[in-house]
Amino acid sequence: MEDRELLKVLRQNPENGIRLVMKQYAALCYYIAKQKLLDFPQEEVEECVSDVFLAFYHQYTAIDLERGSIKGFLSVLARRKAIDRWRRLAGKETLPLQENITASDSLEQQEERKILLDAVLALGDPDAKIVILKYYFGYPTKKIAEIFGLKENTVDQKVRCSLAKVKTILEGGAFHEG
């Protein structure tokens, strides 16, 4: 179902709308959460995905389809909810990440995000997509191999190689800020 139709159903009948959005995107959010919460029990992952859709239920009116998509909005929400939970479970810190995902952050953070984006894009296709599917979206290697018509060990090799390149660029490359 198209995003516009989903938003229309959400406005007319939020509960039905949420069910449709979950049907379409629960697995996407699940793998994002699972990737961050690998060391914790399965219940935590499931609760985290439920948190994502509850937050989406509160925030979907903020989605601007001119600027983004439900898929993008949910992906960021899932990642942030997962990090928040990971920090709590690991006893790292109690301050949650900015939950309002439409809010802007500091200039320094914006700069760092841009540098990383450029570094990943510099890998070219399909390596850039493969590394993000693996490290952001948590896709299993088998699924990535299917998508790109590659062998599983080729995918693993590409991920290792891409990661090394990104780190090299970030640590001393052309994007280094004095």
Quick one: 44 or 159, whose CB is closer to another protein?
44
What is the distance between the alpha carbons of residues 70 and 23, in angstroms, rounded to a whole number? 13
Cβ burial, residue 70 (10 Å; 0-12/13-18/19+):
buried
Write the CA distances from 102 to 127, 129, 174, integer angstroms. 28, 24, 30
SS3 assignment, position 5: helix
Nearer Cβ to another protein, position 150 or 170? 170
| Alpha-carbon gap, residue 120 to 144, rounded angstroms | 17
* CB-based contact 63:73 (threshold 8 Å): yes
Pick out residues in 117-146 that bind another protein (CB under 8 A): 117, 119-121, 128-129, 132-133, 135-137, 139-140, 143
| Nearest distance in Å: CB 153, another protein | 20
Site for another protein in 30-69 (CB under 8 A): 30-31, 41-44, 46-47, 49-50, 53-54, 57-59, 61-62, 67-69
User: Does residue 153 touch another protein according to CB under 8 A?
Assistant: no
Q: Is 162 in the site for another protein (CB under 8 A)?
A: no
Closest by CA position to 57, among listed 31, 25, 32, 87:
25
Interface with another protein: number of residues (CB under 8 A): 77
Interaction of residue 75 with another protein, rule CB under 8 A:
yes
20 binds another protein (CB under 8 A): no
Q: How far is the CB of 117 from another protein (least distance, A)?
A: 5
In whole angstroms, how close is the CB of 138 to another protein at the nearest point? 9
Distinct helix (H) and strand (E) counts, the chain: 8, 0
Q: Does 4 bind another protein (CB under 8 A)?
A: yes
Provide, rounded to whole angstroms, the least separation between the CB of residue 157 and another protein. Answer: 19
Q: What minimum distance in Å lies between the beta carbon of 71 and another protein?
A: 5
**94 near another protein, judged by CB under 8 A:** no
Let me know: does 144 contact 133? Beta carbons within 8 Å.
yes
